[in-house]
Amino acid sequence: MERKIALITGATSGIGEACARKFAEGGYDLILTGRNVDKMKAVERQARELGADVLPLIFDVRDRKAATAAVNSLAGKWAVVDVLINNAGLALGLEKEYEGDIDDWETMIDTNIKGLLTMTRLVVPGMVERNKGHGINVAAVGGDAAYAGGNVYCATKAAVKALTDGLRIDVAHTAVRVTNVKPGLVETNFSVIRFHGDNERADNVYKGIKPLTGDDIADVALYAANAPEHVQVAEVLVLATHQANGTVIDRKQD
């Protein structure tokens, strides 16, 4: 049986790395994108050990020319992407909106929104032409309602929800499926990046509660991808047991 191909952006850490591992275990071959060569080599090695054939692509999704060149270079079996996981994304800072860092804003908007749009524009037309494929976008609970300090980040994830819903409408005449996965607290390097390398501050985000892991979110993505062809898992909100939404978290579990 021919193995399906999943293209995963932001595959060198966190949820993206977990998706690479889970989809490799699930029998997929992988196109992995990321910016860090050394981390990519480690993820690639692990995926190969799990039986996957892997094509690593080193580029930043914010760089439209690099993304276009990378996708256009795909040939042979790699040109047929069955699952696109738009995972690349980040949060930076928790400042009030009127005190925020404009460079941080641009990085979040260019990665979380424009990068996702670029990859969608490059990959989904092939799915539509083949009348087969699946786009999975990783948003966040913060896209449902803003929380203190989340302003621009939450706005970008609200945009991911709207763009995912819009794409689902646009491909409804085809057999292409579209899924939006919205994680709550996931313990990855997400908070370390948000706080510009302040590990102590990042650790405090998860104190008093058992958070989700990247594997938990990867399991959801794999389930959606492997659902029967007539089943479209449109949207999944995944929270830790003691998290009710983006702002209500019971931290008395330690």
Which residues are catalytic, by number?
153
3-state secondary structure of 135: strand
The encoded tokens of residue 194 equal 């948000």
The helix (H) or strand (E) run that includes residue 99 is: none
Positive or negative torsion for Cα 38, 41, 45, 46: positive
Q: What residues contact 37, with CB distance under 8 A and at least 6 apart?
A: 58
Task: Tell me the residue type at 180.
Answer: N
Alpha carbon distance 60, 34 (integer Å): 6
Contacts 24+ apart (CB under 8 A), 198-207: 207/251, 207/254
The encoded tokens of residue 41 equal 């080599």
Task: Tell me the residue type at 138.
Answer: V
Alpha carbon distance 42, 23 (integer Å): 16
Q: What residues contact 87, with CB distance under 8 A and at least 6 apart?
A: 8, 9, 10, 11, 15, 16, 19, 138
Residue bearing tokens 């047929």: 80
Nearest CA-CA partner of 62 in 109, 97, 103, 96: 109
